[in-house]
Amino acid sequence: MSKEIQIYNTLTRQKEVFNPILENHVGMYVCGPTVYGDPHLGHARPGITFDVVFRYLKHSGYKVRYVRNITDAGHLENDADEGEQVIVKKARLEQLEPMEIVQLYTLSYHKAMADLNCLPPSIEPTVTGHIIEQIEMVKQILKNGFAYQVNGTVYLDVNKYNEKYSYGTLSGRNLEDTLEGTRTLDGQSEKKSPVDFAIWIKANPEHIMRWPSPWGEGFPGWHIECSAMSKKYLGETFDIHGGGMDLVFPHHEAEIAQSNASNGCDPANYWMHNNMITVDGKKMGKSLGNFINLEEFFTGSHDKLERAYAPMTIRFFILQAHYRSTVDFSNEALQAAEKGFTKLMNAMETLGQISASENSTYDVNALQKKCYTAMNDDFNTPILIAHLFDGVRIINSVKDGKESLNAADLEQLKTIFNTFITDILGFISHKESSRNDLTNEVMELVLQLRGNAKKSKDFDTADLIRDELDKVGIQIKDEREGSSWEVK
Amino acid sequence: MSKEIQIYNTLTRQKEVFNPILENHVGMYVCGPTVYGDPHLGHARPGITFDVVFRYLKHSGYKVRYVRNITDAGHLENDADEGEQVIVKKARLEQLEPMEIVQLYTLSYHKAMADLNCLPPSIEPTVTGHIIEQIEMVKQILKNGFAYQVNGTVYLDVNKYNEKYSYGTLSGRNLEDTLEGTRTLDGQSEKKSPVDFAIWIKANPEHIMRWPSPWGEGFPGWHIECSAMSKKYLGETFDIHGGGMDLVFPHHEAEIAQSNASNGCDPANYWMHNNMITVDGKKMGKSLGNFINLEEFFTGSHDKLERAYAPMTIRFFILQAHYRSTVDFSNEALQAAEKGFTKLMNAMETLGQISASENSTYDVNALQKKCYTAMNDDFNTPILIAHLFDGVRIINSVKDGKESLNAADLEQLKTIFNTFITDILGFISHKESSRNDLTNEVMELVLQLRGNAKKSKDFDTADLIRDELDKVGIQIKDEREGSSWEVK
């Protein structure tokens, strides 16, 4: 087990050695989607980021309980405790029952995550599945004196909280900054201070997602869900809390306040945040026309896209950047990523075909060390991928007879590639996803027929095969060891 | 919209014309899985049965809200309100948190249903997601005087209930029969009568799945979930309640009692029950060694299986019997089903290749009518399939020039086949599932190469192609119109 993983902790603004609370075990909570629309890039990035964290921690020998919630109630249209619950609004627009919306988009989220080869989390709790736990937590916060009730809505009293704890540590804002940045909206007058936020919200008569509570019928405030569910499945304080950087304030700041106000302790020791995504240099937004959902990427069905991009191209592109850097999507960048990915996966196939020599001209041990060092350094996937490309160079050189590897080193290189590419980065070859075993088997026959045609100087047939395959996007590569094929 | 659908109603023991409560709308509730193990044949049958009902009602023009629950808490080891909750027990055995068990087996259930091409239901509510609704219903039943509380457990008072309503109408048992059939177990002494059943159960100290309630910490009785969730999403009385025949007593009987005791009305107008499955003539059971899960069927990895059977073979086999008949699984029966299915799907492909003539020698209109008549007669899929095989006969006769269809009839026959085979019976061809587009495209090239080889009398090559394809399970069929291929 690697004990040297360093994690950049948003809370302390520095990299820290990762020490779990319970030896060999990790509890990780990541904020999941609000299921009222198709999954898009903003879902893909945290999905993939924390999938790699999950995979690497497991590879490092930890038993990981990875909890990612599904927000199926409570999330309002804006952060100021106003507007409609987004799922209720979507249900009204589509004339469906809210839970039909939830079902539709939970399924499409699951499908997109599976396409991207993200492992399912250990538990996927829902807001509606934990109303009681949220009510219990609101009761506790009231009891501890950090909240007040007005007309059936319960607010967390941020000023009161700030007397004992410190509000704003995660986002680095002090209370005055926060106050200045908070719009004073009509209808907020029942709050003692504009910085206070709702932890239980009274349901208006027309509201259909509602539950009985000690304060009348209502629904949970958006932030309380994660506090209640992480506590239930990971305990009052757990190891890692993850999410997108846009959630630092107010969502995660509110979670910290709720946990302290209810349990008297911080919820998580390490806070990890993935950075944001832009499209052609601009923030994604429905009004900007650059809001592309994942299915549109996979099928190429969006004006901005020159063609379809496979899920693995998206995954490679996202992991080519460090999770704390911004990422800009463009056709050029995706096509470059696709080429890089193909080169990497082709080398992995070549690795299965090259033979060992007496001596090695390359230090495989050093490569392995570098790969672990990269991952231990705050999951630095771009550096890891750069090292793997050094491996690609060697593989191709060995194939060309310019370098050599002995049997043990060749085995070790295979282990490195399998471990880091398949297990940790979670890449599947285009071949595995775009062609099944039957295609492989039929293509073997086609390559054999082409070899026979060439041997008997039947060049018409050989050309016919090349041209017809070219039409369907298959390229044949003739090498010293024989012919192989790939999907272009 | 077909207004002539007849449904066999378990409640009245006869077929009745289906009249929905709300014109053009259908509310249907089906009991789903308890997610503590891999999905097996006992899940496949109701899944497929009610998928076809769902598809046919939608095809008939109804807007259908199909609710199928996931039981993720409350289900005890036996029906006598004793033993452990099954998910808690499995969690203890596997050293996981109960909700990790729920996640694992919910995902494997979803995967199996997708493999069987069952459409997802409109809403999939969970027990843990509706604890409050269940508590509210228990409160109402207590308030109405049909339940009593002892030491934190609430029992439905069946004798009291039977004074006003009639307990046992669905299963056709009277109270005396039920009393005789009920074992008097130790620990049941707190019940007023052995026929009473728990609607809320006190949690012992070691119980980890528990929620606060007016009667102390506990969890819902197994039966109350369906009453609470069907009411929430479909109303106090809805159209169709479905499930396996093994659920008639006590589960559905209890649901009827709970709905009457709480809402003063029956929950559903039509009760539909699929019959049971046997394996080699015996009831499925883990101790009998004939308990085969679906993944084992799909991969052939069980001692009792001679080989793998595709999901569509299982689906065809199940639909070849009427849902109210028993079905016996055996290798012979499955292999026969596979042949039948292949014949049907091949005919569907042939249908796309045959040409129209001046005149028709066959009454396509009559065929269409018969197909609808079969489905309207309590969803009689075996009769429907028999009619479709009459269509198969005609398709093959037209291909052989022994019968003919004019252009309009040919179009109509295509519509019938698409409607009933694809949309209603939900069959996908083996080709679509076992080979993707790329295989199709490469195989076209292979057939072309073989044609060229034969033309130039290069029989070595032609034989090579046939033999190599044979090795990978592809059979080439030479016909008047050209060659085609199929996976054997």
Task: Tell whether B303 and B420 lie within a shared domain.
Answer: yes
Of the CA atoms within 13 Å of residue B431, those in its CB half-sphere come to 18
Contact of B433 with chain A, judged by CB distance below 8 Å, is answered with: no
Cα end-to-end distance, chain B, whole Å: 40
Q: pLDDT above 90 covers what percent of chain A?
A: 73
Token pair 């309590």 is found at B378
* Helix, strand or coil, per DSSP, at residue B300: coil
**What ipTM score was computed for the predicted complex, to two decimals?**
0.84
DSSP-assigned beta bridge partners for residue B64: B26
Task: Tell whether A195 and A253 lie within a shared domain.
Answer: yes
Which of 452-481 (B) contact A at CB < 8 A?
A: 452, 461, 464-465, 468-469, 472-474
Nearest-Cα distance to chain B for A443, in Å, is: 7
pLDDT at A440 over 60: yes
Q: A278: pLDDT confidence band, cut at 50, 70 and 90? A: very high
Task: Tell whether A18 and A114 lie within a shared domain.
Answer: yes
CB B319 within 8 A of CB B52: yes
Higher pLDDT, A185 or B291: B291
pLDDT at B33 over 60: yes
pLDDT reported for residue B471: 79
pLDDT reported for residue A429: 79
pLDDT reported for residue B154: 97
pLDDT reported for residue B74: 79
Task: Tell whether B75 and B160 lie within a shared domain.
Answer: yes
Instruction: Please write the tens of the pLDDT for every residue from B370-382.
Output: 999 999 999 999 9
Average pLDDT, chain B: 91
Residue A148: phi and psi, rounded to 5, are -140, 155
In this structure, of A434-438, B94-98, B398-402, the range with the lowest mean pLDDT score is A434-438
Domain assignment present for residue B284? The answer is no
pLDDT reported for residue B300: 85
* Helix, strand or coil, per DSSP, at residue B155: strand
CATH number of the domain residue B369 falls in: 1.10.730.10
Query: Which residue, of A241, A274, A307, is where some domain finishes?
Result: A274
Domain assignment present for residue B219? The answer is yes
Query: Which residue, of A413, A431, A449, is where some domain finishes?
Result: A431
CB B221 within 8 A of CB B201: yes
Nearest-Cα distance to chain A for B299, in Å, is: 15
pLDDT reported for residue A434: 45
Tell me whether residues B97 and A124 touch, CB distance under 8 A.
no
pLDDT at B188 over 60: no
Which of 201-260 (A) contact B at CB < 8 A?
A: 211-212, 233
Domain assignment present for residue B287? The answer is no
pLDDT reported for residue B80: 62
Nearest-Cα distance to chain B for A448, in Å, is: 10
**Cα radius of gyration rounded to whole Å, chain A:** 26
CB B37 within 8 A of CB B105: yes
CA dist A379 and A7 (Å) reads 8
Task: Tell whether A61 and A120 lie within a shared domain.
Answer: yes
Task: Tell whether B214 and B310 lie within a shared domain.
Answer: no
pLDDT reported for residue A282: 87
Task: Tell whether B155 and B250 lie within a shared domain.
Answer: yes
Residue whose C-alpha is closest to residue B191's, from B179, B181, B203? B179
Query: Which residue, of A274, A290, A319, is where some domain finishes?
Result: A274
Higher pLDDT, B175 or B363: B363
Top mean pLDDT of A182-191, B188-197, B405-414 is at B405-414
Average pLDDT over residues A445-467: 90
State how many domains chain A has: 3
Domain assignment present for residue B290? The answer is no
Contact of B140 with chain A, judged by CB distance below 8 Å, is answered with: no
Q: B476: pLDDT confidence band, cut at 50, 70 and 90? A: confident
pLDDT at A139 over 50: yes
Tell me whether residues B129 and A124 touch, CB distance under 8 A.
no
Query: How is residue A11 annotated by DSSP?
Result: T
CATH number of the domain residue A183 falls in: 3.40.50.620
In this structure, of A439-443, B246-250, B329-333, the range with the lowest mean pLDDT score is A439-443
Domain assignment present for residue B292? The answer is no
pLDDT at B1 over 50: no
pLDDT at B186 over 90: no
* Helix, strand or coil, per DSSP, at residue B120: coil
pLDDT at B72 over 70: yes
Domain assignment present for residue A1? The answer is no
Q: B434: pLDDT confidence band, cut at 50, 70 and 90? A: very low
Average pLDDT over residues A15-28: 96
Average pLDDT, chain A: 91
Which string of b and e fits A103-137 if b means at least 16 CB within 10 Å?
Answer: bbbbebbbebbebbbbebbbbbbbbbbbbbbbbbb
From chain B, pick out residues whose CB is under 8 angstroms from the CB of A125. 99
CA dist A350 and A129 (Å) reads 49
In this structure, of A25-34, B381-390, B424-433, the range with the lowest mean pLDDT score is B424-433
pLDDT at A264 over 90: yes
From chain B, pick out residues whose CB is under 8 angstroms from the CB of A442. 439, 442-443, 446, 469, 472, 474
Contact of A129 with chain B, judged by CB distance below 8 Å, is answered with: yes
Task: Tell whether B257 and B202 lie within a shared domain.
Answer: yes
CA dist A151 and A201 (Å) reads 9
pLDDT reported for residue B25: 96
pLDDT reported for residue A67: 98
Please report, as a single letter, which amino acid is at residue B68. R
Select the residue of B65, B103, B125 nearest A120 (Cβ to Cβ).
Answer: B103
Q: pLDDT above 70 covers what percent of chain A?
A: 94
Query: How is residue A82 annotated by DSSP?
Result: -
CB B245 within 8 A of CB B275: yes
pLDDT reported for residue A254: 97
Contact of A487 with chain B, judged by CB distance below 8 Å, is answered with: yes
Give the β-pairing of A482-487 and A474-479. Answer: antiparallel
Task: Tell whether B182 and B239 lie within a shared domain.
Answer: yes
Domain assignment present for residue B326? The answer is yes
pLDDT at B478 over 50: yes
How far is CA A3 from each of CA A27, A57, A434, B444, rounded to the nearest angstrom?
A: 16, 10, 38, 55
DSSP-assigned beta bridge partners for residue B40: B293
* Cis before A250? omega within 30: yes
Query: What's the predicted TM-score (pTM) here?
Result: 0.87
CATH number of the domain residue A292 falls in: 1.10.730
> What is the residue range of B319's domain?
299-431
Higher pLDDT, B307 or A391: A391
pLDDT at B79 over 70: no
pLDDT reported for residue A90: 84
Q: A183: pLDDT confidence band, cut at 50, 70 and 90? A: low
Task: Tell whether A248 and A364 lie within a shared domain.
Answer: no
CA dist A27 and A21 (Å) reads 9
In this structure, of A395-404, B285-294, B445-454, the range with the lowest mean pLDDT score is B285-294
Domain assignment present for residue B282? The answer is no
Q: A431: pLDDT confidence band, cut at 50, 70 and 90? A: low
pLDDT reported for residue B86: 86
* A129 → chain B, closest CA residue: B129
pLDDT at B431 over 60: no
Average pLDDT over residues B244-271: 97
Q: A288: pLDDT confidence band, cut at 50, 70 and 90? A: confident
From chain B, pick out residues whose CB is under 8 angstroms from the CB of A128. 129-130
* Helix, strand or coil, per DSSP, at residue A255: helix
Task: Tell whether A405 and A454 lie within a shared domain.
Answer: no
Task: Tell whether A411 and A441 lie within a shared domain.
Answer: no
Contact of B95 with chain A, judged by CB distance below 8 Å, is answered with: no
Average pLDDT over residues B403-419: 97
pLDDT at A481 over 70: no
Average pLDDT over residues B413-428: 97
Contact of A165 with chain B, judged by CB distance below 8 Å, is answered with: no
Residue whose C-alpha is closest to residue A309's, from A286, A333, A327? A333
Let me know how many helices (H) and strands (E) chain B has, helices first: 17, 15
